């Protein structure tokens, strides 16, 4: 069955960068696009965009253009989310998802 395993929690300072991984298994990685979702503490779900796993082309929702980068390591069936120049408002849990399958989420804490 499809499984998405994400990396562990992160504690970063404002201005730093963070890279979150999402390792897929149980299916052919390049057959399905992967999307990313942000959930701020106590808040709902916010779609960040998706990456075409066949071509590597990312598409970002408007709120996530600029500092956010989606990329792949296809040989390892792994997708990455990198957030540059972290801000306090980036503190959240980040999920990867393929179809109806979700990773367990990665909590990113931003604190000076």
Q: What are the residues binding other proteins (CB under 8 A)? A: 35, 44-47, 49-50, 59, 61-62, 95, 99-105
CB of 43 to other proteins, least distance (A): 9
CB of 76 to other proteins, least distance (A): 22
Number of H helices, E strands in the chain: 0, 11
Total residues found in the chain within this entry: 112
Rounded distance, CA 111 to CA 6, Å?
22
Taking the least distance from each CB to other proteins, the nearer of 62 and 89 is 62
Q: What is residue 50's DSSP assignment?
A: E
CB of 20 to other proteins, least distance (A): 14
- Other CB atoms within a 10 A radius of the CB of residue 58 amount to 21
Taking the least distance from each CB to other proteins, the nearer of 11 and 45 is 45
């Amino acid at each position: 069955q499809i499984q998405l395993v994400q990396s562990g929690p992160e504690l970063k300072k404002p201005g730093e960068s963070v890279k979150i991984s999402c390792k897929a298994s149980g299916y052919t990685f390049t057959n399905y696009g992967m999307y990313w979702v942000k959930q701020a503490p106590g808040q709902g779900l916010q779609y960040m965009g998706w990456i075409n796993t066949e071509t590597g082309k990312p598409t970002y929702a408007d709120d996530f253009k600029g500092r956010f980068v989606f990329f792949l390591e296809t040989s390892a069936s792994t997708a990455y989310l990198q957030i540059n120049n972290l801000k306090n408002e980036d503190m959240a849990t980040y999920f990867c998802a393929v179809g109806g399958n979700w990773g367990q989420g990665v909590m990113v804490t931003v604190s000076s």
